[in-house]
Amino acid sequence: MNYTSTIRSFCQNKAGSIIDVAQVSEDYFAMVPYKTLLKVLNRLRDEGLLIPVSKGVYMVKPEASISSDEAIIREYATETRGMLAGNALFRELGLTDYDSGTTEIYTRLIPKGSHKNIGRYSLTGVNLFFEPELKKLIALLEIIEKGHTNPEHNLPGHSVKIMELLSEYTQSRFRSVVENISYSYSTIASLSYFLTLLRKDDGNCLEIYKEVENGR
């Protein structure tokens, strides 16, 4: 096999995408010795096909103008692949103008429970299919858990958003989220309170949470 030709073709078909060396080594090029893969990628970098983003991470030269920040968000935090979390999510929702300097992302593109930093981006691996309704439920839990600690937080805006997102709660969605993302008991107790205000019961969220936590 001509490793250089094969890897170059792979990269050319991913214009504007993020290439994580460890990930592509495991998922696509397990037959290629790791040192050989690094040498080929370094050669492609020197040719201008790959743009360094951080250690072990490249962006494939895009066909149209796109920044590495846009490429990272598109790769890990859009469609069903993942979503923004924490302060970055609050900024996206218009709940704050404060920028913490770190962009948290939940993504299914890295192994569950693993963590990876790419510049200012802090990725956490989860085993979730990020459908729109699930993203809204996670947003609800993020606001309850972290919203009040965010500088310049918009408390009235948070309250309105919480009540808006409560309709996305279902027992199955909630179970899948807490099986993948850790939230404090006080957050779930608050969720129980808000659900009771809205629908006269808490959808068994406390019982589900305790069951999941006891099974960890």
CATH code assigned at 53: 1.10.10
Who wins on pLDDT, 199 or 13? 13
Question: Is 65 in the same domain as 101?
Answer: no
Question: Is 114 in the same domain as 96?
Answer: yes
Mean per-residue pLDDT, 60-89: 94
- Structural domain boundaries, residue 51: 3-69
Mean per-residue pLDDT, 209-215: 95
pLDDT of residue 43: 96
pTM of the model: 0.88
By three-state DSSP, how is residue 38 classified?
helix
Question: Is 118 in the same domain as 20?
Answer: no
Percent of the residues in the chain that have a pLDDT greater than 70, as a whole number: 96
Question: Is 107 in the same domain as 191?
Answer: yes
pLDDT of residue 17: 94
Question: Is 57 in the same domain as 93?
Answer: no
Q: Which of 105-119, 133-147, 149-163 has the lowest mean pLDDT?
A: 149-163
Among 69, 89, 120, the domain boundary falls at: 69
Indicate whether 158 pLDDT > 90: no
pLDDT of residue 47: 96
Among 39, 69, 99, the domain boundary falls at: 69
Question: Is 26 in the same domain as 131?
Answer: no
**173 CB contacts (<8 Å, ≥6 apart)?**
133, 134, 137
- Contact 70/119 with Cβ under 8 angstroms? no
Question: Is 27 in the same domain as 88?
Answer: no
Q: 149 vs 56, 73, 135, 188, CA distance in Å?
A: 33, 24, 21, 17
**Alpha carbon 173 to chain centroid, angstroms:** 17
Mean per-residue pLDDT, 151-169: 84
Question: Is 84 in the same domain as 109?
Answer: yes
Question: Is 131 in the same domain as 90?
Answer: yes
Q: How many domains, the chain? A: 2
Sheet of 57-60, strands arranged across: 18-20, 57-60, 50-54
Question: Is 55 in the same domain as 122?
Answer: no
- The encoded tokens of residue 105 equal 């992302």
Q: How confident is the model at residue 131 (pLDDT cuts 50, 70, 90)?
A: very high
What is the spatial distance between Cα 103 and Cα 28, in angstroms, rounded to a whole number? Answer: 28
Question: Is 174 in the same domain as 210?
Answer: yes
Question: Is 201 in the same domain as 102?
Answer: yes
Indicate whether 151 pLDDT > 80: no
Mean per-residue pLDDT, 3-23: 94
Among 69, 85, 117, the domain boundary falls at: 69
Question: What backbone phi and psi angles, to 5 degrees, belong to 130?
Answer: -85, 70
